[in-house]
Chains A and B, each alone.
Chain A
Amino acid sequence: MSLTARHLLLLGGTSDIGRAVAKHYADNGWQVTLAARDVEAASRNAADINTRQPDAGVAVEGLDILETESFVSFLDALHPLPDTVVCVVGMLGDQEQAETDPDHATRIMRTNYEGPALFLDMIAARFVSRGYGMIIGVSSVAGDRGRASNYAYGSAKAGFTAFLSGLRNRLATKNVHVATVKPGFVETRMTAGMDLPGALTAKPKDVAERIAGIEIRPRDVIYVLPVWRLVMFVIRSIPEPIFKKLKL
């Protein structure tokens, strides 16, 4: 452990993408704290990284992103305040269920938008008063345009994307950088069993590399596989009268 080690706070320490991000930062000498509601599962990931990388010292803290009242005490207890926060918390949910079950719809919306946005707003304030910081939010291409198959999730991610862009705009002069990451398809447990097109599908490790790349060259919005920028450009360009009749 070096005195100059930088600190990463990762929200969503049980996720496959989160695990890869934590590993990548730890491999590069960072101190990592995994925040997760399932502390036991996150500890399994922490032990794995610590075994592979004995200097890593990955730690785990409990955090439920839906319990917004807990954020202040969570942040107060963080020592030191991290250099970077990466949020990979998210929930795909079940679109059909969301259409008839408002509780389920609410859960999807709060997990993908409300919780992460409120948390990042609070930590941003602390970064500003300290004088620097890096905020990286993992959103989704699903937020670029609402589709019948997943618009509960997509609309919440759209909200999160807009939040990140607003925050970036506000903090541009405050030495706090805000980046939005849109992974496209990634092979994780969220997509397990889905038939994903190979050329459009990334591995968690790819996402981790792109995210860590932001530390070296700050970027505003990245698509993990560049082809997604084109795909989403095409999807956004379809006029609504035609788009609404497509089965997507």
Chain B
Amino acid sequence: MRDLSGWGRYPRTSGPLGMVSDVDDAAVATALLSGVVARGLGRSYGDAAIGRETTLSATGLDRMQSFDPETGILAAEAGVSLAEIIETFLPRGFFPKVVPGTRFVTIGGMIASDVHGKNQHNDGTFGDHVEWIMLALPDHRVLRCSRAENPEIFAATIGGMGLTGTILSAGIQLKRVETGWIRQKTHAARNLDEAIRCLQQTEDATYTVAWIDVLARGKSMGRSLILEGEHETLSDLPWGEIPFPTSKFGRISVPMEMPGWMLNGASIRAFNAGYYLNGARHAGRDRVVTWDAYFFPLDGIGNWNRIYGRRGFVQHQCVIPEGAEHVLFEILDRLSAAGAGSFLAVLKRLAPASGLMSFPMKGLTLALDLPVSPENLTLLTQIDGLVAGAGGRIYLAKDALQSRDTFQAGYPDLDRFCRLRDDIGARGRIASKLSARLGL
């Protein structure tokens, strides 16, 4: 038995964690175990990567298989991490097409959540750059799935939260970059209106995202820093810098769970205000920053999830479809009125995605952390209601709380997904705490 929880450390459960060391064992385990789901590095926040009965760790599937520098396609086992991919290929001038906000995630986890990055509005999700997947099914079959072979299973596996079987390996597309630096431009938006407009205006940028201060109230409600980013070219790189800097990860770490009172409204309010003001001072000017500072600022602080103390935290990420922006105002209003503490939250424009159960749709997404407390859980239930009412949805990779109604309202292809699970014999056999909670 092992303690098992997601990155938010809520909910906490315990259960058996099976380790496998090669793809054959992983396929056999997928077929023999019942109530099982695969787990990568456990960076999903809630209960997605915990099996209903047994959890199957895919981290032993950590071999790369081949790389073709002509096409940029990397074939690798599903447990290979994004950190290793960048460490291996950035010095050779390649970078993943899509990266989430942490690099301690696996290929399997990125496919299963169909993760999005700061370039989703232009370049789509991680799944859009997956060429093929080797998938182990509960009936002992191992299938190669792609847009041409078993396309329905392929579409259901991208964003399918591990519920179609265990991803054993995949072919993923990398892109060429000239340096490991990002030219970043900051814009300050004094309120939500300005932030939304600014995100729209910066849409031609390869990367764009807003850090939003969800505690600011009144006229300043929704004040944000919008960070545009472009891969720096070799010719523009400031003189004397090496083209491919290595990561400075691991300098500081949160050594233990911080007492909850350290995160009261006042300290977070002060931090957010300071962050905004500091950023606003640099607005308009270009800065050239390293890839890890731009994409993975939180990775610089090991175990930062312990900062929320023993009770853990929940992450809420919703998307509000285009045209219903007023709901976003209402959500922010409730959050700031409740003084519900969250360090920097993220606001970003999304475009539709291709997986049956993928999260992105055309609209705006908001992501924020809240420490677990009875008041915050009630608040989040209310917010879920607003999201569902607006025709939006909640991101399963972050979710620990949403109701079945909210879920069903948010994912219109759910029926097709369930039918496909029936067809491949996954229902009841491939199951996570999340799928059990949501009635899948």
Chain A residues within 8 Å of B, Cβ to Cβ? 41, 44-45, 47-48, 51-52, 54, 189, 192
Q: How far is the CA of A51 from the CA of B63 in the complex (A)?
A: 9
A51 in contact with B22 (CB, 8 Å) = no
Q: How far is the CA of A192 from the CA of B19 in the complex (A)?
A: 9
Query: Which residues of A sit under 8 angstroms from B63, Cβ to Cβ?
Result: 44-45, 47-48
Which residue of chain B lies nearest to A48 when distances are taken between CB atoms in the complex?
B63
Dominant secondary structure of chain A at its interface with chain B: helix
B64 in contact with A51 (CB, 8 Å) = yes
A51 in contact with B21 (CB, 8 Å) = no
Which residue of chain A lies nearest to B75 when distances are taken between CB atoms in the complex?
A51
- Complex interface residues of chain B between 64 and 82 (CB less than 8 A to chain A): 64-67, 74, 76
In the assembled complex, the CB of A2 is this many whole angstroms from the nearest CB of chain B, namely 19
Query: Which residues of A sit under 8 angstroms from B76, Cβ to Cβ?
Result: 51
B88 within 8 A of A: yes
Query: Which residues of B sit under 8 angstroms from A47, Cβ to Cβ?
Result: 63-66
Q: How far is the CA of A51 from the CA of B19 in the complex (A)?
A: 24
Query: Which residues of B sit under 8 angstroms from A192, Cβ to Cβ?
Result: 19
Given A45-B63, A47-B66, answer yes or no on A52-B88 (Cβ-Cβ < 8 Å).
Answer: yes
Chain B residues within 8 Å of A, Cβ to Cβ? 19, 21-22, 63-67, 74, 76, 88, 92
Task: Tell me the number of A-to-B contacts counted with CB atoms below 8 Å.
Answer: 24
Query: Which residues of A sit under 8 angstroms from B64, Cβ to Cβ?
Result: 47-48, 51-52
A44 in contact with B22 (CB, 8 Å) = yes
Q: How far is the CA of A51 from the CA of B94 in the complex (A)?
A: 13
Known: A48-B65, A54-B92. 17 other contacts (CB 8 A): A44-B22, A44-B63, A45-B63, A47-B63, A47-B64, A47-B65, A48-B63, A48-B64, A51-B65, A51-B66, A51-B67, A51-B74, A51-B76, A51-B88, A52-B88, A189-B21, A192-B19
Q: How far is the CA of A189 from the CA of B25 in the complex (A)?
A: 13
Query: Which residues of B sit under 8 angstroms from A189, Cβ to Cβ?
Result: 21
In the assembled complex, the CB of A196 is this many whole angstroms from the nearest CB of chain B, namely 15
Q: How far is the CA of A192 from the CA of B63 in the complex (A)?
A: 19
Query: Which residues of A sit under 8 angstroms from B19, Cβ to Cβ?
Result: 192
Q: How far is the CA of A48 from the CA of B76 in the complex (A)?
A: 8
Which residue of chain B lies nearest to A44 when distances are taken between CB atoms in the complex?
B63
Select which of B22, B65, B67, B88 is within 8 A of A41 by beta carbon: B22
Query: Which residues of B sit under 8 angstroms from A41, Cβ to Cβ?
Result: 22
In the assembled complex, the CB of A217 is this many whole angstroms from the nearest CB of chain B, namely 27
Query: Which residues of A sit under 8 angstroms from B66, Cβ to Cβ?
Result: 47, 51
23 CB contacts below 8 A, A to B, read A41-B22, A44-B22, A44-B63, A45-B63, A47-B63, A47-B64, A47-B65, A47-B66, A48-B64, A48-B65, A51-B64, A51-B65, A51-B66, A51-B67, A51-B74, A51-B76, A51-B88, A52-B64, A52-B88, A54-B67, A54-B92, A189-B21, A192-B19
Query: Which residues of B sit under 8 angstroms from A54, Cβ to Cβ?
Result: 67, 92
Query: What are the 7 tightest A-B residue pairs by CB atom distance, in nearest-first order?
Result: A48-B63, A51-B64, A52-B88, A51-B67, A48-B64, A47-B65, A44-B63
Query: Which residues of A sit under 8 angstroms from B65, Cβ to Cβ?
Result: 47-48, 51
Q: How far is the CA of A192 from the CA of B57 in the complex (A)?
A: 13
Which residue of chain B lies nearest to A51 when distances are taken between CB atoms in the complex?
B64
In the assembled complex, the CB of B200 is this many whole angstroms from the nearest CB of chain A, namely 41
In the assembled complex, the CB of B27 is this many whole angstroms from the nearest CB of chain A, namely 14
In the assembled complex, the CB of B406 is this many whole angstroms from the nearest CB of chain A, namely 40
In the assembled complex, the CB of B169 is this many whole angstroms from the nearest CB of chain A, namely 11
Interface centre among B64, B66, B67, B92 (most CB of A within 10 A): B64
Q: How far is the CA of A234 from the CA of B19 in the complex (A)?
A: 35
Q: How far is the CA of A41 from the CA of B21 in the complex (A)?
A: 11
In the assembled complex, the CB of A3 is this many whole angstroms from the nearest CB of chain B, namely 23
In the assembled complex, the CB of A66 is this many whole angstroms from the nearest CB of chain B, namely 22
In the assembled complex, the CB of B437 is this many whole angstroms from the nearest CB of chain A, namely 30
Query: Which residues of A sit under 8 angstroms from B21, Cβ to Cβ?
Result: 189
Q: How far is the CA of A246 from the CA of B64 in the complex (A)?
A: 46
Query: Which residues of A sit under 8 angstroms from B88, Cβ to Cβ?
Result: 51-52
Q: How far is the CA of A41 from the CA of B60 in the complex (A)?
A: 13
Q: How far is the CA of A44 from the CA of B79 in the complex (A)?
A: 14
Interface centre among B21, B22, B63, B65 (most CB of A within 10 A): B63
Query: Which residues of B sit under 8 angstroms from A52, Cβ to Cβ?
Result: 64, 88
Query: Which residues of A sit under 8 angstroms from B74, Cβ to Cβ?
Result: 51
Query: Which residues of B sit under 8 angstroms from A51, Cβ to Cβ?
Result: 64-67, 74, 76, 88
Which residue of chain B lies nearest to A189 when distances are taken between CB atoms in the complex?
B21
In the assembled complex, the CB of B63 is this many whole angstroms from the nearest CB of chain A, namely 4
Q: How far is the CA of A192 from the CA of B76 in the complex (A)?
A: 24
Which residue of chain A lies nearest to B87 when distances are taken between CB atoms in the complex?
A52
Query: Which residues of A sit under 8 angstroms from B92, Cβ to Cβ?
Result: 54
Which residue of chain A lies nearest to B69 when distances are taken between CB atoms in the complex?
A54
In the assembled complex, the CB of B326 is this many whole angstroms from the nearest CB of chain A, namely 50
Q: How far is the CA of A41 from the CA of B63 in the complex (A)?
A: 11
Q: How far is the CA of A165 from the CA of B88 in the complex (A)?
A: 39
